Structure 1
Amino acid sequence: MESRAHALVAVVFLLVLGIAVAIVGLWMHHSEKPGVDFDVISPYSVAGLGLQAPVRFKGVRVGEVTAIGLDPRNPRMIRIRIKVDKSTPITRATFAELAPQGVTGLSYLSLSDQGTDFAPIITKPGKVPEIPMHPSFFEVLSRNGESLVNRSNELADRLNDLLNDRNRARFGQTLTHLDQATQDLVQMENAMMPALKALPAMVAATQSTMLASHQLIQHLNVLAVNAQKPLTSATQAAASLQKLGTASEQAINTLNYQTLPQVNRLTQSLLHSSAAFSELSQSLKQSPQSLIYGTQGPPPGPGESGFSAGAH
């Protein structure tokens, strides 16, 4: 009886547990947020990405990874099925990148857009829209690192070709010549040391000469300023002399053309007056009574009254 009781209890417990699991599953199924499916097509490795890995849009979690597998149409590509919220702004410019989750080695999908096309992504009936995958930072670093290693190997090969026996001998000769040139430079430096030591005194003398030249130029400037005054006076004197010459020329013209003719006429008038005065004097000497009675006319001639023949 006890074994049957234990078996009954076990069956009842299993039934209750099964019913509870079914209820929890149904509750979780109904509480799951509705979303939109997208396929991310990646030509790159998706190591570290697993199912239910987070999907973030610019850092905000908007969904999760629901499936990962090879693309049936192109096995070289990887098809990642994701489910994201309906409110996520997926556009034609949206792309996905693989980003690490700390130092755990796991990765998540990061969605972003280039901001060049804000039109919604094209959806076709019965077909899941596709989002392209861009290389992650580590993918770019890995490719560049591989290229860097290849270039380093190429550089090493070229260095090996460059450093052959013949070129090493030439490098040795070049180093010898450089050593000799260095010694020559040291000797030249030793020879130039006295001149370099005398250079400060030469510079000081040059500065003193320049200062004296500056003072001389200042004195010459003062002398030039002082010399401008006599030059100004001489210019004024020359102008006065020029005016005096002009006045003298005018006076000479007046003397020649006005004064001298008048003096000549006065002289002639004086000569005529002097001749008349001389005649008057002679007449007075001959007949002083003429001064009282006046001048008598000439004696009457023949036929005139008062003519007398005996008078002659």
Structure 2
Amino acid sequence: RSHALAAGLFALLLGAAAVLSAWWFGGKHEATREYTVVTTKNVTGLSLQGQVRYRGIRVGKVEAITLDPDDLHNILIRITVSKSVPVTHGTTAKIGYQGVTGIAHILLEDTGDDPQPLPGGDGPESRIVMQASLIDQLSDGGSETLAAAREFLVNANKLLDGENRRHFAGVLVNLEATTANANAAVSQLRQLLAQTPASLRLLNATLARAEQAAGKATPLLIEARELVVRLQTVSDRVDHLLGDSSSGGIAALAPRLNQLGSELSANSRQLNRVLRLLEEAPQSLVFGPPKRAPGPGEAGYSAPPAVQGAP
């Protein structure tokens, strides 16, 4: 009888040890909560006992994968998650894939939109809606992307046919010639601008000597000095424009160079008129420019004498 009692006690202890071992190695020793992830997408690669990760950390596993009896379009994924994980109403789920093995896992992330804790359990209040994964997005948009790429290739082939390539070659040749001419013109303009400061300094010195000889600044000298200053200003602006690396090339330079060239040309013509007047009538430096002879119908006009023998 004592032997039977000992045998029974041993059997009870052995059974308790077996249950304890199964509980320990089955991972049930950690306090968990149950949630249901709902998705309408495929769950290829996801299996029972698959990992559940929260921001990359393993926090649980997949317990069951079934179809929703109320809506067969939905797939219900039952997961257990450690109670230490802050699952909230703002928590979302995605399917992630491990390397190139194709093994899938559930990835939980918190958007922070609603920090209220999400209760675990079997009811609909414990459901987490699964978001589309990167593979789902690529799969959904893949057909549209391929169609757009195919249309692009067809249009590219039409654009780059033999006739259009010949047209492009002609345009490039003309553009190269135009650019070469423009660069040559800019080079000549740079050379001219390099000579301008010395010429203007020499002219300023000449005007200063003329003013000293005249004993005062006459209107003609004042006009000449103002024109020299304006020429120097426009010359500096053109030189700065040509040296500006952010100007955008010859095409962008052309309108501004045209405007500054017009100002430079106008000032040069006025200065040339003043200098020609000083050359032809040096006395105008003191007495001012000679008065224009009155024309027919104006006061003081006298007709030229008639030539003898004229009919």
TM-score w.r.t. length of structure 1: 0.51
Other-structure match for 1:271: none
Aligned-partner residue type, residue 143 of structure 1: D
Of Structure 1 and Structure 2, the greater helix share is in: 1
- Within 5 A, what are the aligned runs for 1:162-177? 162=158, 171=164, 174-175=167-168
> Aligned partner of 1:105: which letter?
G
- State yes or no: 1:138 paired with 2:135: yes
Aligned pair partner of 1:206 in 196, 203, 207: 196
Question: Quick one: distance in 1 between partners of 2:97 and 2:213?
Answer: 89
In the TM superposition, what is the alpha-carbon distance from 1:137 to its structure 2 partner?
2.4
Quote the residue 2:95 is aligned against. Answer: 98
CA–CA separation in structure 1 for the residues paired with 2:134 and 2:53: 16
Count of residue pairs the alignment pairs up: 205
Q: How does 1:4-23 map to 2 (within 5 A)?
A: none
Q: Answer with 1 or 2: which has the greater Rg.
A: 1
Q: CA deviation at 1:118?
A: 1.0
Relative to structure 1, is the Cα distance of residues 139 and 217 closer, same or farther in structure 2, using a 3 angstrom cutoff? farther
Equivalences for 1:104-115 in 2 at 5 Å? 104-115=101-112
Deviations 1:154-201 (A, max 9, x none): 3234456x45xxx95863673575377469759x849x96x8886666
Taking the aligned partners of 2:87 and 2:114, their CA distance within structure 1 comes to 11
Query: Corresponding residue for 2:148?
Result: 151
Aligned residues: CA RMSD: 4.4
Could you tell me whether the CA contact under 8 Å between 1:43 and 1:76 is conserved in 2? Answer: yes
What is the CA–CA distance in structure 1 between the aligned matches of 2:109 and 2:144, rounded to whole Å? 28
Which structure 2 residues correspond to residues 245-264 of structure 1 after superposition, within 5 A? none
Partner of 1:76: 73
What is the alpha-carbon distance in structure 2 between the residues aligned to residue 175 and residue 30 of structure 1?
71
Percent identity over the alignment is: 28
Q: Which structure 1 residue ranges, 5 or more long, are not aligned? A: 1-14, 228-312
Give the drift of 1:59: 2.5
The match for 1:178 among 146, 160, 171 is 171
Partner amino acid, structure 2, of 1:212 = L
Q: Distance in 1 between matches of 2:126 and 2:56?
A: 22
- TM-score, normalisation: structure 2: 0.51
Shift of residue 62 of structure 1? 1.9
